[in-house]
Amino acid sequence: MPNSPSDPPRRITVQRRGPLLVEGPVEVELEDGSTVSSDRFRVALCTCRRSRRYPWCDTSHRDRA
Amino acid sequence: MQGTWAARPGALHAALRPVVPPPPGRVARFTLAGGPLHSGYPAPMPHTSHEPRLPTARGPVSAAVAQYLRGAGPLPRPEEIADGSVYGDDLQLALYLCYELHYRGFADVPADLEWDPDLLRTRAALEHRFLSALRADTPVHDSVEDALAEILVEPVDGTGVSHHLRDKGELWQLREYAAQRSLYHLKEADPHAWVLPRLWGRAKAGMAAVEFDEYGGGRPDRVHARLFADLMTDLGLDTTYGHYLDAASAEVLATVNLMSLFGLHRSLRGALVGHFAAVEITSSPGSRRLAEAMRRTGAGSAAEFFYDEHVEADAVHEQVVRHDVIGGLLEEEPQLAPDVAFGIDATGLVEDRFAARLLADWNAGRSSLRTPLPSEISGIS
């Protein structure tokens, strides 16, 4: 359903390193067509593709030493 | 948030610090027959108490504080506080008793003693010793960025408690870990709630949002303290608040006293925020290792869920705390940057001491608790 013009835009915070931060709740459609959802106040979406809990960030993007 | 701490470069330094054996416990020497020494507080009405019982004393200072709380003896003398080992059992328990009055209190201890001026004076003397030691012993980074950068790197070959438990932890060690941590997790997020009135704007909004998540987002069955109680049930532990206080080591008492110290003092709001960031940042990867430990040992679904939940939740909390809470606070009050760095690094100090104690005991094949857990577990699947 299209957004109503009165809906405020949903803010997404991007960073060069680290997850996308999205105001929750969110529903994510994955490549295989399945959907997963999170009702947190903010959701961290993995962008490095290393997360073992993809599409959610699990901090796997961190440097290792 | 939950407290796990990956071993850091400073861990070895902490591990080499000797653990001072507790002085022998003894009861207060001055028991007066004339009723409570702290006058003016009515005796509690008889009722079925849900507060924990006062624990067994671990030396002269904790004995005197406990006796004072019972109305049966004077507070410890300043020399006794000055002479005690600052990270040792006696002083850490005495401070813990003082702080616990601000949370749930104790059975048969008048609630108004929370604001007893004489007791607060004793608490201040204990806090002075603890905070002075933390300031002297904590290598503090020059900047908040440097302090954060160190804990944002994951060690490839970590040697912390969560690494040990993931790779070779035995069920009895997982149970001991949960019993020790229950001192915090059964009041998870409570020490940090005190900072809310001391923040404003972006920092307050971010902190409140994370705390709301810790408190289950409005759903009592998802309050993190409740999730931890469910984990304890899986592990055959007693979920009663305060049950494992007698068993807990001085090192874990220090980790909880640190939070209470930072939380209760507005002057330490920067340190509280730094502490909170340190716990949230280290929690996610540590929780993944602990979830793996729970799965490997078949501890149970609630035990796994507690840590799985923290992997995801704290990956978000870390971002909010770094960007909004620390960022917002330092935008308003840039002069607090050294306190934020101190809070991050002091958390590392007390967590490294706790980890060193656990691993030293376990590697020697002995219990890390003052009173070992009953070995019988029912309900482990």
Secondary structure (DSSP) of B244-309 = TTTT--HHHHHHHHHHHHHHH-GGGHHHHHHHHHHHHHHHHHHHHHHHHHHHHHT--HHHHHHHHH
- Chain A contact for B33 (CB, 8 A cutoff): no
Q: Taking CA atoms, what residue in A is nearest to B285? A: A59
Note if the pTM is more than 0.90: no
**Is B212 in Cβ contact with A41 (below 8 Å)?**
yes
**Residues contacting B352, CB < 8 A, separation 6+:** B5, B7, B8, B10, B11, B13, B14, B15
Closest CA to B246 of B154, B371, B343, B124: B371
Query: Using a CB-CB distance cutoff of 8 angstroms, which residues of chain A are in contact with residue B156?
Result: 64-65
- Chain B contact for A42 (CB, 8 A cutoff): yes
pLDDT by residue, tens only, chain A of 65 residues: 567 777 788 889 999 989 999 999 999 999 999 999 998 999 999 999 999 999 999 999 999 98
- Helix axis angle for B224-234 and B301-320, nearest 10°, is 150
CB B275 within 8 A of CB B263: no
- Chain A contact for B312 (CB, 8 A cutoff): yes
Nearest to B311 among A39, A58, A65 (CB): A58
In which residue are the tokens 């960030």 written?
Answer: A57
Please tell me whether residue B53 adopts helix, strand or coil conformation: coil
Tokens of B252: 């874990």
Residue B25 pLDDT: 40
At B344, phi and psi to the nearest 5?
Answer: -65, -50
Distance from CA of B182 to the nearest CA of A (A): 24
- At B7, the amino acid letter reads A
10-residue block means of pLDDT along chain B (381 residues)? 49 38 38 49 62 97 98 97 98 98 97 98 98 98 97 91 96 97 98 98 97 94 96 97 98 98 98 97 94 96 95 94 97 98 98 98 97 70 42
Complex ipTM > 0.85: yes
**Is B316 in Cβ contact with A44 (below 8 Å)?**
yes
**Is A53 in Cβ contact with B320 (below 8 Å)?**
no
CB B78 within 8 A of CB B125: yes
Nearest to A62 among B152, B313, B320 (CB): B152
Residue A4 pLDDT: 79
